[in-house]
Amino acid sequence: MTTKPRTLLALGGIVLLALVATGCGSESGTANATVETKSFSFSGENLIVTSHSSDLELISADVDEIQVERASSGSMIGAEPKSVWQLDGNTLTLDQSCTGISINCGARFTVKVPRNVTLSAENGGGRIKATGFTTELSLMTMDGDIDAEKISAKSVTASSRNGKVQLELGAVPDLVNVQSQDGIIQLALPQATYAVDTSAKKGRISVNVATDDGSAHVVKAHSRNGDISVEKAP
């Protein structure tokens, strides 16, 4: 007489597990993504890109307008994802909200920025990748990695509360200022002499570039919990 109740309980557990699993998808897949594009006229000198949780890929390019590609994927149960991509003044907001029970719901935004524009990017819970910038660059994410490559800007600032920060510079900078609370910092710099200021409360520090406290090329790297490496760029 106890077989049926046990069977029902087991089935109930399977149903509950399935519902919980559908709500766990936080990263968007790319195989079945829906890709859309949008362009924004922009005549300013400084652009701010903000997102709450979407991954951002930012590219300095030979374009006259800001060009955005959105790759959205996944679905929600009982509702549609709320997507935002709009330019208000010099602030470009890019987001896709999947609040509720969702299946691999999310979006990735690729942004091409005119080369003469100074960029600042802020992300709440997604990754930031930046490529090819020659103007002043500032990148900040609360929970996500930062990856910047082929950067020739004179001033680069990067900050992550919970994520890795990796910068590869193609020209000698005047200032590099990087902070990470919980994540490693990896810097690759062109050959030059730098005034290097590093600290890691819990982590190892490796500096393999020429140093001089009086150098006009300043590098600051500070981590609360993570290793720091400052190396010569390949």
Residue 8 domain flag: no
Query: Do residue 148 and residue 232 come from a single domain?
Result: yes
Query: Do residue 232 and residue 149 come from a single domain?
Result: yes
Per-residue pLDDT at 11: 36
Query: Do residue 117 and residue 197 come from a single domain?
Result: no
Per-residue pLDDT at 80: 60
**pLDDT for residue 24 is more than 80:** no
| E strands present in 115-234 | 118-123, 128-131, 137-141, 146-151, 155-160, 165-169, 175-182, 185-189, 193-202, 205-207, 210-211, 218-225, 228-232
Mean pLDDT, residues 62-66 taken together: 98
Pairwise pLDDT comparison (185 vs 13), residue with the higher score:
185
Query: Do residue 182 and residue 233 come from a single domain?
Result: yes
pLDDT category of residue 98 using cuts at 50, 70 and 90: low
Rg (C-alpha) for the chain, rounded Å, is: 22
Mean pLDDT, residues 31-38 taken together: 83
**For the chain, what is the domain count?**
2
Q: Which domain holds residue 39?
A: 24-125
Alpha helix segments (H runs only) across the chain: 3-22
Query: Do residue 163 and residue 103 come from a single domain?
Result: no
**pLDDT for residue 30 is more than 80:** no
Residues 105-156 have pLDDT tens digits of: 668 899 999 999 999 999 998 999 999 999 999 999 999 999 999 999 999 9
Q: Are 24 and 98 in contact (CB under 8 A)?
A: no
**pLDDT for residue 178 is more than 90:** yes
Residues 184-228 have pLDDT tens digits of: 999 999 999 999 999 999 999 999 999 999 999 999 999 999 999
pTM of the predicted model, to two decimals? 0.82
Residue 100 domain flag: yes
Per-residue pLDDT at 17: 33
